[in-house]
Structure 1
Amino acid sequence: GRPTAVPVMGPPVSVFGTVGLASCTHCSLKLSRTVPQLQDMLRSFPGTSFDIATCAWLVPIRSYPILRERMDNTPGVNMSWKDLTPIVHNVLKATAMRKDDSNRYERVHTTVDDAGQSLDERMMPFQREGVRFGLKQGGRVLIGDEMGLGKTVQGCALLKCYEDEWPALIITPSSLRQQWYLALQQWSNALECDVQVVFDKNDMDRVKRAAGAQAQKGARSMVPLPFRILIISYDYVSKMSEILLSLAFKCVLLDEAHYIKSYSSQRTKASLPLLQRAKRAILLTGTPALSKPVDLLTLMQALVPGAHIKLNDFAARYCAGDMYSKTSGAKNQEELFRLITATMMVRRRKNDVLKQLPPKRRQQVYLKVDERDLQKLKGQQEELSGLKEVLSSVSSHTGGLLAGLRMEQQQAIMRMYHDTAKLKVAAVQEYIKDLLESDIKFLVFAHHHSLLDGLEKAVNTAKKGYIRIDGKTDARQREELRARFQGDDNVKVAVLGIAAAGVGLTLTAASTVVFAELSWVPGEIMQAEDRVHRIGQESNSVNIQFLLVKGTIDDIMWDTVQHKLTNVGKVLDGKEDSLAVASKSTVERSSGGPGPMDAFLTRRPDTNAGGSRDAGSSPDLGQPGVALTQNLGCHTSGPALSDKQHASGPAHSHRQHASGPTQLPHPADPPQPGAEAIARQATGPAQQLPGLQHPQQQVPGLEPSTHAPAAQAQACNPPLQQPQQQPQQQQQQQQQQ
Structure 2
Amino acid sequence: MSPKSRQRSAGNGNRRRRGNLDNTGVIPQLAKAAREVESAAMRGRISPAMRTKFQVVALLMREERARLKTADDVSAGERNEAMKRLDGLAAILAKTAARDTTLIQLLDAEAPTTPQARELRKKMLFAGGVEMVVGEEPEQVEPTQAVLPEKIRERQVMPTSVKSRVRANPFLSPNLAGIRPNEPHYSRLQNWEILGPLLKAFATGAGGGAACMTLPDVPRFDRVTPANLDLMPHQAQLVEAIRAGQRSILLADEPGLGKTAQSLLAASVANAYPLLCVVPNVVKTNWQQEVQRWTPGRRATVITGDGEDIDAFSDVFIVNYEILDRHIGWLQRLGLRGMVVDEAHFIKNTSSQRSQLVLRLAELVRSRIPGDHPLMMALTGTPLINDVEDFKAIWQFLGWIDADDKPTEILLDALDETGLVPSDPGFAAAARRAVIELGIVRRRKIDVAKSLPSKRVIDMPVEIDGDEAISIREAEQLLVARLLKRYGHMLNAAGLPANTVDENRLRMLARQEVEESKASSAGDSIFAMLHRIGLAKAQLAAEYTAQLAHSAGKVVFFAKHIEVMDRAENTFAEEGLRTVSIRGDQSPAARERAITQFQTDPDTQIIVCSLMAAGVGLNLQVASDVVLSELSWTAAEQMQAIDRVHRIGQEAPVTAWRILAAQTVDAHVAELIDAKQGLSARALDGSDTEATASEDIQVEAIVRMLLLALQGKSLR
TM range (shorter): 0.5 to 0.7
The question of 1:181 aligning with 2:277 is answered no
Gaps of 5+ in 2: 1-182, 199-214, 366-373, 413-425, 485-501, 700-716
For residue 149 of structure 1, report the CA deviation from its aligned partner.
0.8
Paired residue for 1:595?
Answer: none
Give per-residue Cα distances to partners, 1:655-710, cap 9 Å, x unaligned.
Answer: x99xxxx9xxxxxxxxxxx99xxxxxxxxxxxxxxxxxxxxxxxxxxxxxxxxxxx
Matched, 1:380 2:485: no
TM-score, normalising length: structure 2? 0.55
Q: Which amino acid aligns with 1:438?
A: S
1:303-382 superposed matches below 5 A: 303-305=398-400, 308=402, 310-311=404-405, 334-335=429-430, 337-370=432-465, 372-378=467-473, 379-381=475-477
Give the aligned residue type for 1:463: G
CA spacing shift, 1:523–1:130, aligned 2, 3 Å: same
User: Gapped runs of 5+ residues in structure 1?
Assistant: 1-68, 73-79, 92-100, 211-224, 318-330, 395-401, 570-578, 584-630, 634-649, 663-673, 676-737
Letter in 1 for 2:337: K
Q: CA deviation at 1:427?
A: 3.0
Distance 1:390 1:440 in 2: 49
Does 2:391 match 1:296? Answer: yes
CA distance in 2, matches of 1:243, 1:130: 31
Aligned to 2:579: 466
The letter for the 1-side match of 2:300 is V
SS in 2 for 1:374: helix
Runs of 4+ that moved beyond 6 A: 80-86, 88-91, 105-108, 384-394, 402-405
Letter in 2 for 1:492: Q
Aligned equivalents of 2:647 and 2:674: distance in 1? 23
TM-fit CA distance, 1:504: 2.1
* 1:139–1:158 Cα contact (<8 Å) kept: no
1:189 is displaced (CA, Å) by 1.1
- Give the partner amino acid of 1:370: D
Other-structure match for 2:342: 255
> 8 Å contact 2:539–2:571 — kept in the other structure?
no
Match of 2:568 among 455, 458, 470: 455
SS at match of 1:528: helix
Aligned to 2:666: 554
Q: Partner of 2:655 in structure 1?
A: 543
Is residue 480 of structure 1 aligned with residue 593 of structure 2?
Answer: yes
Q: Secondary structure at the match of 1:231?
A: strand
Q: Report the counterpart of residue 154 of structure 1 in structure 2.
A: 262
Secondary structure in 1 matching 2:645? coil
Change (3 A) 1:558 1:267: same
Matched residue count: 448
Partner of 1:166: 273
Measure, in 2, the Cα distance between the counterparts of 1:484 and 1:285: 27
Give the Cα separation in 2 of the matches to 1:234 and 1:82. 36
Pair 567,437 (structure 1): closer, same or farther in 2 beyond 3 Å = closer
SS in 1 for 2:586: coil
CA distance in 2: counterparts of 1:484 and 1:389, whole angstroms: 52
Return closer, same or farther for 1:123/1:357 CA change in 2, 3 Å cut-off. same
Larger helix proportion, structure 1 or 2? Answer: 2
Give the whole-Å Cα distance in 1 for the aligned partners of 2:303 and 2:190. Answer: 48
In structure 2, distance between residues paired with 1:90 and 1:308 = 17
Aligned equivalents of 2:300, 2:691: Cα separation in 1: 44
Looking at structure 1, the residues matched to 526 and 591 of structure 2 have their Cα atoms a distance apart, in angstroms, of 32
Verify: 1:581 aligned to 2:684, yes or no.
Answer: yes
Please name the residue that 2:236 is paired with: 128
Quick one: distance in 2 between partners of 1:166 and 1:287? 27
Q: Give the equivalent residue in structure 1 for 2:617.
A: 504
Cα distance in 2 for residues equivalent to 1:148 and 1:343: 24
Paired residue type of 1:199:
T
- Give the secondary structure class of the aligned counterpart of 1:501: coil
Flag the structure with larger Rg.
2
Q: In structure 1, what is the Cα distance between the partners aligned to 2:506 and 2:234? A: 38
- Structure 2 residue aligned with 1:195: 300
Aligned-pair CA distance for 1:181: 0.6
Query: 1:426 deviation in Å?
Result: 3.8
1:235 alignment partner AA: E
Indicate if the aligned counterparts of 2:285 and 2:461 stay in contact, CA closer than 8 A: yes
Q: Which whole-Å CA distance do the structure 2 matches of 1:364 and 1:523 have between them? A: 17
The answer as to whether partners of 1:263 and 1:269 remain within 8 angstroms in 2 is: yes
Distance in 1 separating the partners of 2:533 and 2:327: 33
SS at match of 2:296: coil
Please give the alpha-carbon distance, in whole angstroms, between the structure 2 residues aligned to 1:333 and 1:264: 28
The equivalent of 2:605 in structure 1 is: 492
In the alignment, the residues of structure 2 paired with residue 185 and residue 417 of structure 1 have an alpha-carbon distance, to the nearest angstrom, of: 27
Alpha-carbon distance change, 139 to 90 in structure 1, aligned in 2, over 3 angstroms: farther
Taking structure 1 as the reference length, the TM-score comes to: 0.54
1:534 paired residue number: 647
State the distance in 1 between where 2:449 and 2:588 align: 37
User: How far apart are 1:158 and its partner, in Å?
Assistant: 1.1
SS at match of 2:250: strand
Supply the distance in 2 between the matched residues of 1:390 and 1:186 (Cα, whole angstroms). 34
> In structure 2, what residue type is equivalent to 1:546?
R
Report the CA distance between 1:272 and its aligned residue: 1.3
In the alignment, the residues of structure 2 paired with residue 90 and residue 462 of structure 1 have an alpha-carbon distance, to the nearest angstrom, of: 32
Quick check: 2:446–2:651 contact (8 Å CA) kept in 1? no
- Per the TM alignment, residue 409 of structure 1 is displaced from its structure 2 partner at its CA by 5.4
Contact persistence 1:565–1:632 (CA under 8 A): no
Secondary structure class of the residue paired with 2:607: strand
| SS of equivalent residue, structure 2 residue 551 | coil
Report how far residue 533 of structure 1 moved: 0.8
1:443 aligned counterpart, secondary structure: strand
Q: Is residue 248–residue 377 contact of structure 2 (8 Å, CA) maintained in 1?
A: yes
| Residue 456 to residue 128, structure 1, CA distance change in 2 (3 Å) | same
Deviations 1:72-123 (A, max 9, x none): 9xxxxxxx989997749999xxxxxxxxx99xx99972664xxx45xxx621
Q: Is the 8 A contact 2:276 2:318 kept in 1?
A: yes
- Given that 1:508 and 1:537 are in contact with CA atoms closer than 8 Å, whether structure 2 keeps it comes out as yes
- Preserved CA contact (<8 Å) 2:274 2:334: no
Counting strand residues as a fraction of each chain, which structure ranks higher?
A: 1
Task: Tell me the secondary structure at the aligned position of residue 557 of structure 1.
Answer: helix
Decide whether the 8 Å contact of 1:108 with 1:160 is kept in 2: no
Cα gap change, 1:377 to 1:154, in 2 (>3 Å): same
Matching of residues 58-73 of structure 1 within 5 Å: none
Q: How far is 1:492 from its partner?
A: 0.9
Deviation at 1:371, TM superposition (A): 5.2
CA contact (8 A) 2:243 2:266 kept: yes
Counterpart residue number, 2:378: 283
- 1:181 touches 1:197 (CA, 8 Å); kept in 2? yes
| Cα drift, residue 545 of structure 1 | 0.6
Kept in 2, the 8 Å contact 1:145–1:349? The answer is yes
